[in-house]
């Protein structure tokens, strides 16, 4: 493999690189509005709204029709397939509504997880069949980036070597195919926060997973400058008894990324996992204040952490549209500030948390 058979022309590379830079422009991040039908069901059920196509359309319309100033904090929106072809109340297709605000349109392209036989409940992700043709069509229909989520978990025997290798490989295949079709691939190797493991364990596993991902991307000749990474933050497991500050999470996360993510990657857009809206903002803010050199943008790609308040304000009532939009805009603005390390929480208590020192004895 000592000869290069260029997969991309210089023009293609430039286009991909430009798209990626626009998405993670300073102060901007991603709204992950790509919840599948089933997942939207879970969100709507919580506010007692029926999971119909119209209700899903209405809620996304609320978000996308927010004040155009939202584009100061939102660089990209990830769509679910159904949503890409729905229209706003104004009659415009949603991609057009979003694009007119200067926001890049993205599309979830994976087809969910599938079991890895012989493992302890581990999975890979499917969706490679006909992916190239689907990407070409999505590009025509207004998309400029895509997202594919792989899932790993931490337990006594997980993640296994197979799970790590297989998910890294399928992410690389997906990324390669996207780039061929002018779509910037967001690479998402999510390590779930379930479990009672501590921060150090999550850091170790994340380092191993990301090292495998970037080796696979290299093996598959993926153009790193035209990709984005969507990882988990390094956190303790949900049932871990030890508590950590946002600074602990930030230092562990940035250390991990510095050890594994090449500087050529333009941006890292964290998933929020099970974090609350405020937690997700505080952690992102702390990331951007870590006194270590960070050659990539560190920003957000949040779903629940951007929409929870909006959903709660809406509760399915037309009259609440404005309030829902305000709630969304507020979180977007806060996360925009957090992506620059400039978020100053109002409450004194959280400010005190910001002042705390890194856990001195913690060996990263």
Q: Are 95 and 84 in contact (CB under 8 A)?
A: yes
Q: Which residues pair with 304 in a beta bridge?
A: none
Q: Are 183 and 227 in contact (CB under 8 A)?
A: no
Give the other-Cβ count within 10 Å of 121's Cβ: 10
Dist CA 73 CA 90 (whole Å): 23
Q: What are phi and psi of 238, to 5 degrees?
A: -55, -35
Among 6, 112, 115, 130, binds another protein (CB under 8 A): 6
Of 51-59, 179-187, 189-197, 339-347, the window that binds another protein (rule: CB under 8 A) is 189-197
**Could you give the string, one character per residue 136-155, with x where binding to another protein holds by CB under 8 A and - elsewhere?**
------------------xx
Among 25, 131, 250, 261, binds another protein (CB under 8 A): 261
352's CB contacts (< 8 A; 6+ apart) are none
Q: Which is nearer to another protein, 12 or 88 (CB)?
A: 12
Among 74, 205, 251, 334, binds another protein (CB under 8 A): 205
Q: What is the closest distance, in whole angstroms, from the C-beta atom of residue 347 to another protein in the complex?
A: 30
Q: Are 14 and 87 in contact (CB under 8 A)?
A: no
Both tokens assigned to 173: 């295949």
Kindly state whether residue 189 participates in binding another protein, applying the rule CB under 8 A: no
230 catalytic, yes or no? Answer: yes
CA max distance for the chain: 63
Dist CA 151 CA 274 (whole Å): 14
Kindly state whether residue 291 participates in binding another protein, applying the rule CB under 8 A: no
Dist CA 364 CA 247 (whole Å): 13
Q: Which is nearer to another protein, 84 or 175 (CB)?
A: 175
Among 120, 130, 342, 351, binds another protein (CB under 8 A): 120
Kindly state whether residue 3 participates in binding another protein, applying the rule CB under 8 A: yes
82 catalytic, yes or no? Answer: no
Considering only residues 321 through 360, tell me which ones interact with another protein, judged by CB under 8 A.
Answer: none
Kindly state whether residue 130 participates in binding another protein, applying the rule CB under 8 A: no
Element (H, E) at 189: strand 184-191
Kindly state whether residue 240 participates in binding another protein, applying the rule CB under 8 A: yes
Dist CA 143 CA 301 (whole Å): 17
First CA to last CA across the chain, in angstroms?
36
Q: What is the closest distance, in whole angstroms, from the C-beta atom of residue 73 to another protein in the complex?
A: 24
Which is catalytic among the residues 28, 108, 230, 321?
230
Q: Which is nearer to another protein, 139 or 294 (CB)?
A: 294
Dist CA 93 CA 84 (whole Å): 8
Residues serving a catalytic function are: 188, 230
For binding to another protein (CB under 8 A), which residues are involved? 1-4, 6, 8-10, 13, 118-121, 154-161, 195-198, 200-201, 204-205, 207-208, 211-212, 214-215, 218-219, 224, 237, 240-242, 255, 257-264, 293-295, 361, 363
């Amino acid at each position: 493999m000592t000869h290069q058979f260029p997969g991309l022309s210089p023009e293609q590379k430039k286009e991909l690189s430009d798209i990626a830079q626009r998405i993670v422009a300073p102060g901007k991040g991603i709204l992950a509005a790509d919840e599948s039908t089933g997942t939207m069901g879970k969100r709507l059920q919580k506010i007692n709204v029926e999971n119909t196509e119209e209700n899903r359309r209405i809620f996304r319309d609320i978000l996308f029709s927010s004040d155009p100033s939202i584009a100061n904090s939102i660089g990209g929106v990830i769509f679910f397939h159904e949503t890409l072809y729905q229209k706003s109340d104004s009659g415009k297709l949603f991609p057009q509504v979003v694009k007119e605000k200067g926001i890049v349109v993205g599309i979830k392209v994976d087809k969910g997880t599938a079991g890895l036989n012989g493992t302890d409940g581990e999975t890979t992700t499917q969706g490679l069949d006909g992916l190239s043709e689907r990407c070409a069509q999505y590009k025509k229909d207004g998309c400029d980036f895509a997202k594919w989520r792989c899932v790993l978990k931490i337990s006594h025997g997980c993640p296994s070597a197979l799970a790590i290798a297989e998910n890294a490989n399928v992410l690389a295949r997906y990324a390669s195919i996207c780039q061929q079709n002018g779509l910037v691939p967001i690479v998402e190797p999510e390590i779930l926060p379930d479990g009672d493991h501590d921060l150090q364990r999550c850091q170790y596993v994340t380092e191993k997973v990301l090292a495998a991902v970037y080796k696979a991307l290299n093996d598959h000749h993926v153009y790193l400058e035209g990709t984005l990474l969507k990882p988990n933050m390094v956190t303790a497991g949900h049932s871990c008894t030890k508590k950590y500050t946002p600074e602990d999470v930030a230092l562990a996360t940035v250390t991990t990324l510095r050890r594994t993510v090449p500087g050529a990657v333009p941006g890292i857009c964290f998933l929020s996992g099970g974090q609350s809206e405020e937690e997700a903002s505080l952690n992102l803010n702390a990331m951007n204040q870590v006194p270590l050199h960070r050659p990539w943008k560190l920003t957000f790609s949040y779903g629940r952490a951007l929409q929870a308040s909006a959903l709660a304000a809406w509760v399915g009532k037309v009259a609440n549209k404005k309030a829902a939009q305000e709630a969304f805009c507020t979180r977007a603005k806060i996360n925009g500030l957090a992506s620059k390390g400039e978020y100053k929480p109002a409450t004194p208590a959280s400010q005190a948390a910001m002042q705390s020192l890194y856990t001195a004895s913690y060996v990263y």
